[in-house]
C-alpha cells in the first residue's frame, strides 16, 4: 500500500502542466520552471504583447471582480476615439452632476467644471480618478449607460462575449461585473496597440488644473521596475488588490495580470515575479527577412502580384536564440488563377533541426486565369497594332 501511495504521489508531481490555447494567445506547455512560479494572488496570467502568447497562467479563467482595472476597457475606448479623430486631446470635457458624484479615487471635480481631454485622461490613468472616467465616458457616448453599452460591444468584438460591464470605473462590486485574468490580458493587449496611452501610463507624478492638483501614479512599478510601461491598478474590499502591469525590455513587451491579491505589496510582488520570469527566459526574435517586391504571374490577367509578409516576430526561449535561422520559401513565378489573400509562400524559422514557426506569405490581389476568349482578344489587338 505504501508503495502504491508513493507511486500515485510521484505521478501527480510529475504530471505535465499545460496552458490551453485561447483569446490571449496560442498557448504553450509550461516548463518545470514555470510550474514553480506561485504568484500571491487568486488569478494570474503572463502574456507577450505582440504575439499574445501565454507564458504562464494560474487560475486564469475564473471570473472575479477587478475593481478599477475595469478602466483598461474605458481607456481602450478613449484611445480608439482619439485615434479615429472623434476625440481630440485639446477638446474640453464638461463634468456632469453624475460624474462629480463618483466616490473612491477622484480629482474632486465640480459639476460644470471643464478640463481638457488630455487632463481628464491623465487623471484617470495616473490616479484612477472615477469622476474623470465618467466624464470622459459621457463625453464620448452621451451618457454613462451608452458608454457601458459600447464597452460590452467592444468586449464581444474581442471575443469576450461572456462578460458584462456595468460601469466605466469598476467602483461597485456588482455580481455581473466580473472578468478573468485572461479577459483583462486580452483588453490590455489591445490597449497597448495605441501608442498614445504610454504618454500617460508612464507618468510617475504630475499635476492638472495648472499645477493646482497633484497626481501620483497608483502603479508603483512605474517608478521601481525597469522598463515598466503601465498599466492599471484596482482595489475594493471584494476584489482585493488587482493589477494589469506591462513592461518592455529589449524590444519585448510583457503583460502580467494579477487578480485577488491579499495586499498591495503582494500584488506588485506577484507582477514583478511574473515579469522577471518572462524577461529572464524569453525573447522576441525578429529576423531581417526580405521578400521580393513583386512576383511574375503566368497565364493571368495580371503579369505581376505583390507578396505580403505579416511578421510581428516569434516568441522563443532565450536558449534557442543562438541557433535560430529563417528561410524564405517562395517560387520564382506563379500560375493563375490566384485568390486574393492566398498563401503563396512562407518563412520558416528553425532552431537547429527543430521548426519553431512557419509564417505565411500571402498574395495581396486576386488574379484571374485567362481563357480562350481572352487570348483571342489579345491576338486581335496585336494584329490591329501590327497592321
Residues 6+ apart with CB under 8 A from 188: 72, 231, 232, 244, 246, 255, 257
- Contact status, residue 172 vs residue 207, Cβ threshold 8 Å: no
Angstrom distance (rounded) from CA 165 to CA 144:
11
CA 27 to chain centroid: 15
Nearest to 44 by CA among 22, 62, 21, 67: 62
Angstrom distance (rounded) from CA 96 to CA 119:
16
- Contact status, residue 150 vs residue 77, Cβ threshold 8 Å: yes
Our answer to whether residue 128 is catalytic in this structure is: yes
Query: Which one from 128, 188, 246, 357 is the annotated catalytic residue?
Result: 128
Angstrom distance (rounded) from CA 60 to CA 88:
36
End-to-end CA distance of the chain: 100
Query: Which one from 42, 71, 122, 220 is the annotated catalytic residue?
Result: 71
Give me the helices (H) in the chain, please: 2-14, 32-36, 71-83, 97-100, 117-127, 130-141, 144-157, 181-191, 198-201, 221-224, 264-281, 372-386
Question: Could you give the C-alpha distances from 143 to 148, 264, 349, 385, in angstroms and in order?
Answer: 9, 33, 50, 68
Our answer to whether residue 68 is catalytic in this structure is: yes
Nearest to 93 by CA among 109, 106, 77, 73: 109
- Pairing label, strands 240-249, 228-236: antiparallel
Cα torsion 96, 102, 106, 108 to 10°: value is 50
Query: Which one from 42, 50, 68, 270 is the annotated catalytic residue?
Result: 68
- Catalytic residue list: 68, 71, 128
Amino acid at each position: 500500500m505504501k508503495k502504491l501511495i508513493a507511486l500515485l504521489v510521484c505521478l501527480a508531481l510529475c504530471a505535465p502542466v499545460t496552458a490551453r490555447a485561447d483569446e490571449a494567445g496560442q498557448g504553450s506547455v509550461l516548463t518545470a520552471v514555470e510550474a514553480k512560479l506561485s504568484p500571491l494572488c487568486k488569478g494570474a496570467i503572463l502574456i507577450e504583447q505582440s504575439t499574445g502568447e501565454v507564458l504562464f497562467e494560474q487560475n486564469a479563467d475564473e471570473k472575479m471582480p477587478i475593481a478599477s482595472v475595469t478602466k483598461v476597457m474605458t481607456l481602450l475606448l478613449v484611445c480608439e476615439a482619439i485615434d479615429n479623430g472623434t476625440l481630440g486631446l485639446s477638446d474640453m470635457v464638461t463634468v456632469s452632476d453624475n460624474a462629480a458624484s463618483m466616490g473612491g479615487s477622484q480629482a474632486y471635480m465640480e459639476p460644470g467644471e471643464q478640463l481638457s481631454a488630455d487632463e481628464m485622461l491623465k487623471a484617470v490613468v495616473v490616479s484612477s480618478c472615477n469622476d474623470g472616467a465618467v466624464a470622459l465616458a459621457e463625453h464620448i457616448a452621451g451618457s454613462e449607460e451608452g458608454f457601458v453599452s459600447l464597452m460590452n460591444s467592444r468586449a464581444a468584438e474581442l471575443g469576450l462575449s461572456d462578460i458584462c460591464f456595468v460601469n466605466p470605473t469598476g467602483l461597485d462590486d456588482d455580481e455581473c461585473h466580473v472578468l478573468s485574468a485572461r479577459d483583462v490580458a486580452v483588453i490590455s493587449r489591445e490597449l497597448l496597440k495605441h501608442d498614445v496611452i504610454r504618454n500617460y501610463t508612464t507618468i510617475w507624478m504630475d499635476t492638472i488644473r495648472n499645477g493646482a492638483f497633484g497626481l501620483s501614479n497608483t502603479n508603483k512599478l512605474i517608478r521601481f521596475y525597469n522598463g515598466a510601461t503601465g498599466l492599471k491598478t484596482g482595489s475594493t474590499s471584494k476584489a482585493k488588490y488587482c493589477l494589469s502591469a506591462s513592461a518592455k525590455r529589449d524590444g519585448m513587451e510583457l503583460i502580467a495580470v494579477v487578480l485577488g491579491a491579499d495586499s498591495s505589496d503582494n500584488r506588485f510582488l506577484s507582477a514583478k515575479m511574473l515579469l522577471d520570469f518572462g524577461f529572464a527566459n524569453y525573447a522576441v526574435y525578429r529576423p531581417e527577412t526580405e521578400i521580393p517586391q513583386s512576383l511574375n504571374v503566368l497565364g493571368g490577367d495580371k503579369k505581376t502580384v505583390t507578396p505580403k509578409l505579416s511578421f510581428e516576430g516569434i516568441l522563443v526561449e532565450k536558449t534557442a536564440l543562438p541557433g535560430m535561422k529563417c528561410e524564405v520559401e517562395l517560387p520564382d513565378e506563379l500560375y493563375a488563377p490566384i485568390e486574393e489573400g492566398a498563401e503563396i509562400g512562407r518563412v520558416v524559422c528553425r532552431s537547429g533541426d527543430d521548426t519553431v514557426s512557419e509564417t505565411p506569405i500571402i498574395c495581396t490581389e486576386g488574379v484571374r486565369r485567362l481563357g480562350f476568349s481572352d487570348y483571342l482578344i489579345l491576338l486581335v489587338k496585336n494584329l490591329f497594332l501590327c497592321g
